[in-house]
Structure 1
Amino acid sequence: MKVSLLQCQSSRDVSSNLAFIKSQLELLTVDSRSHLVVLPECALLFGGHERHQLAIAAEHDASELQQALAALAKEFSVTMVAGTIPITADDGRLYSRSYLFGPQGDTLGHYDKMHLFDVDVADGTRQYRESDTFCPGDRISVIDTPFGKVGIAICYDLRFAELFRAMALAGADIIALPAAFTKVTGAAHWQVLLQARAIENQCFIAAAAQWGQHNEGSRETWGQSMLVDPWGTILAEKAQGTGWVSADVDLSANIELKQKMPVQGHNRFVAPQLLDSDANA
């Protein structure tokens, strides 16, 4: 199969961001093989305060953004991890949701970002408080596809090894990670965390990132979209700029490695358990 990661420099202009994604899909070579496309976090709206997401949020299955990206998956006959879309939650906040669309535009599953970025960073933004606008998801997501099981995590989730172990125990062959790491934290930790998660869990990691200065410099992201194999080898990466990074992937490598080095079977710790939603809030 083929995996393609789109690196974006998204703005607050939803129409422009959607047009960019479509223009990039037109550049892809799609053949009879399975083709997994991963978009970055906030691919359709990025920069400024998280509250801007409220203006484009909608209920599940009523989101025009969800429908637009599903239509693109169908038009270009790809399986798409559609970055993140704001979906309304019962408490007045939003879920940061990543959908997995099939090549017919059908919704195969979704994941709501579980770990929210409430962090102080030494950059121009300084304080990030996602929980003011978003509420955390309460379940992992490992989705069956014709080519294998796809797990989904989002950005800050990368720092939480238990989530990735839970997806590996649920059978994930490849874990997609839409992300928008800050330039400061990305420079320090992005690559080493991606390789660690791949090695620990003996699965492929497909991380699509935002890159560069957004909205006249109000936000700056790291980039370095990267595909990592179960041995920790970087199969492809795009350090800077926008556009695609692609590589062919043989998911059977997971099976062979797990047979030779059965790490999960040797693990003497209990499987991770998710805390209740109140404790995560």
Structure 2
Amino acid sequence: MTIHKIAVIQFSPKAPNEIESNHQRAVSFIRDAASSGADLAVLPEYHLADFAPGHDPEIRKQCANWKTYLNAYCTLAKECNICIVPGSLGELQSDGTIVNATYFIDNTGDIKGRYEKKNLWHPERPFVKGSGNDSRHVAFDTPLGKVGLLICWDLAFPEAFRELILQGAKTIIIPAFWRYTDAGDVGIKRNPKSEGDFLDAAVVSRAFENTCAVVFCNVGGPSEDGFAGLSQVAMPFFGRVERFDTSDEGMKIVELDMDVLEEAEGEYKVRQDLATPDWHYGYRQ
């Protein structure tokens, strides 16, 4: 039996212009995760600075120090002997735009994979630089097996999962900054909790339809400000195996029996069909 213990940290950034304070709180969560025996700690998208409201240029300037925090997480991973997906970092570029990127850092402090958000949420597009239409989703080897990284709105695109699954990914990790208010006035009028229904359905569906584990780590925050929380982990056969029922900050450590993925593939044969040379949907190994 292969068990992976994953710490899902539903982090709530405080004082978005105080990146260092947010970083120290994130470090504290990761240390607690390591002390509890977790193999991997996952943080949400933009966990160091929620610079989206008003697109405050002064907050964005602080993203120039992103390498300092990435290096700090690498050092922490080695010190605590834990793998880390440090949410996503807003990486300020020379042209003033920001790249929204996430990493997989192994327990020796080495970076095993990097991913730039491909499917940008509409309000991001004026100031976040996308990875481009010609880029591919890439799975990579880690101490926890083959892993793929996505960010937030990528969840809405099954094609992203297919590309990773074709490369052998067994676990898809998704840091997110997803709120109920993302439905807009029209969606909220129809159903105030529609984004929660979206998340619950999509995370579980992606796990079943790809015979993979899906780790969705969302930002926390005050519910009156539209924060949804609802971080969750899903597996085939089981569906949702853990979920934050509120938007409150906290950490849950989830034990995943990775043998379930082989059992599910044995029954569903999704990966086998995708690898067929004449597969009718055009996917290719």
Q: Same fold (TM over 0.5)?
A: yes
Q: Report the alpha carbon displacement of residue 55 of structure 1 after superposing the two structures with TM.
A: 0.9
* 1:254-265 equivalences in 2 (<5 Å): 254-265=261-272
Q: Report the alpha carbon displacement of residue 264 of structure 1 after superposing the two structures with TM.
A: 3.3
Alpha-carbon distance between aligned partners in 2 of 1:50 and 1:106, rounded to the nearest angstrom: 32
Question: What whole-Å deviation, never above 9, does each CA across 1:169-190 have from its counterpart, x for those lacking one?
Answer: 1111100000011124432411
| Alignment equivalent of 1:22, drawn from 15, 23, 27 | 27
User: Aligned partner of 1:270: which letter?
Assistant: G
Unaligned runs of 5+ in 2: 184-194, 275-279
Alignment check: 8 A CA contact 2:7 2:38 kept: no
Match of 1:205 in 2: 214
Q: TM-score, normalised by structure 2?
A: 0.82
Alpha-carbon distance between aligned partners in 2 of 1:205 and 1:50, rounded to the nearest angstrom: 30
Alpha-carbon distance between aligned partners in 1 of 2:55 and 2:204, rounded to the nearest angstrom: 29
More helix by percentage: 2
Match of 1:145 in 2: 142
User: Aligned partner of 1:150: which letter?
Assistant: V
Alpha-carbon distance between aligned partners in 2 of 1:26 and 1:80, rounded to the nearest angstrom: 11
Q: Are positions 1:183 and 2:180 aligned together? A: yes
Q: CA 1:96–1:246 in 2, change beyond 3 Å: closer, same or farther?
A: same
Match of 1:161 in 2: 158
| Alignment equivalent of 2:241, drawn from 235, 246, 254 | 235
Alignment check: 8 A CA contact 2:166 2:284 kept: no
Alignment check: 8 A CA contact 1:51 1:133 kept: no
Q: Report the alpha carbon displacement of residue 90 of structure 1 after superposing the two structures with TM.
A: 6.7
* 1:79-98 equivalences in 2 (<5 Å): 79-89=83-93, 92-98=96-102
Q: Report the alpha carbon displacement of residue 56 of structure 1 after superposing the two structures with TM.
A: 2.5
Question: What whole-Å deviation, never above 9, does each CA across 1:180-202 have from its counterpart, x for those lacking one?
Answer: 11124432411111111111111
Alpha-carbon distance between aligned partners in 2 of 1:155 and 1:27, rounded to the nearest angstrom: 25
User: Aligned partner of 2:7: which letter?
Assistant: S
Alpha-carbon distance between aligned partners in 1 of 2:281 and 2:118, rounded to the nearest angstrom: 22
Question: What whole-Å deviation, never above 9, does each CA across 1:7-44 have from its counterpart, x for those lacking one?
Answer: 0111312122112112222322547x770211100111
Q: TM-score, normalised by structure 1?
A: 0.83
Question: What whole-Å deviation, never above 9, does each CA across 1:45-83 have from its counterpart, x for those lacking one?
Answer: 115234546313348xx7112112222222321111110
Give the count of matched residue pairs. Answer: 257
Q: Report SS of the residue matched to 2:90.
A: strand
Q: CA 1:104–1:163 in 2, change beyond 3 Å: closer, same or farther?
A: same
* 1:54-65 equivalences in 2 (<5 Å): 54-58=60-64, 63-65=67-69
User: Aligned partner of 1:222: which letter?
Assistant: A
Alignment check: 8 A CA contact 1:196 1:232 kept: no
